[in-house]
Amino acid sequence: MNEPCIHGSCLCGTVTFEVRPPFQKMIHCHCSRCRKGTGTGHATNLTADPGQLRWLSGEAAITRYDLPTARSFGKWFCSRCGSPVPRLTRNGKIMVIPAGSLDTAPPIDPTDHIFWGSRASWGCPSGGLPTHDEYPASW
C-alpha cells in the first residue's frame, strides 16, 4: 500500500513540494556546519531517494550554496524568505529534506544523532537515540 505524500513549503509559501514515503532516515546532525546553517543546536533532516520528491511551486526561487571548503556540505533555500528547503546531495544520490520544512508530519521518528562529539554544550540530550561521533560506518 502506498503512503500518502508528505507536503512541505518555505516560510513565505513560494516554494512548495511533496515527497512520497518511505524515508531512509530521520537524523539530528550536530556538526558545526548544520548549526551555522540552521541557527539552532542541530539540524533535523530526513533522507529519501531523489525521485521521491516533486516540486509543486517556486523551484526557480531556490538558491543553492555549496560550502567551498567542504566535500559535500551545501544548503538550498528560498531566495525570498531564506527558509531551508530540500536539497540534492552533490553526488545526486540522496535528497535531504529539512524536517522543519514539512507541513505534514512524516511517518518516521528520528533514528540517530550524528556528529554528537561536536554538539554544542547547551544542546539537547540524546533522548535515548543512538549517538555517533561522525557518520556511522553503515551509512
Average of pLDDT values for 10-23? 97
Mean pLDDT, the chain, whole residue set: 92
Identify the top-confidence range among 36-40, 62-66, 98-102, 123-127.
Answer: 98-102
Higher pLDDT, 32 or 55: 55
Work out the percent of the chain whose per-residue pLDDT is above 90: 75
Per-residue pLDDT tens digits for 62-105: 999 988 787 777 899 999 999 999 999 888 899 999 999 999 99
Residues 10/21, Cβ–Cβ less than 8 Å:
no
The confidence score (pLDDT) of residue 113 equals 94
What domains, with CATH codes, occur in the chain?
6-121 (2.170.150.70)
The confidence score (pLDDT) of residue 139 equals 67
Residues 95/55, Cβ–Cβ less than 8 Å:
no
Write out the chain in H/E/C secondary structure: CCCCCEEEECCCCCCEEEECCCCCEEEEECCHHHHHHHCCCCEEEEEECHHHEEEEECHHHEEEEECCCCCCCEEEEECCCCCEECEECCCCCCEEEEHHHECCCCCCCCCEEECHHHCCCCCCCCCCCCEECCCCCCC
Reported pTM: 0.91
Q: Which positions ≥6 away from 108 have C-beta within 8 Å?
A: 21, 22, 23, 25, 26, 46
**Residue 26 confidence (pLDDT) above 60:** yes
The confidence score (pLDDT) of residue 7 equals 98
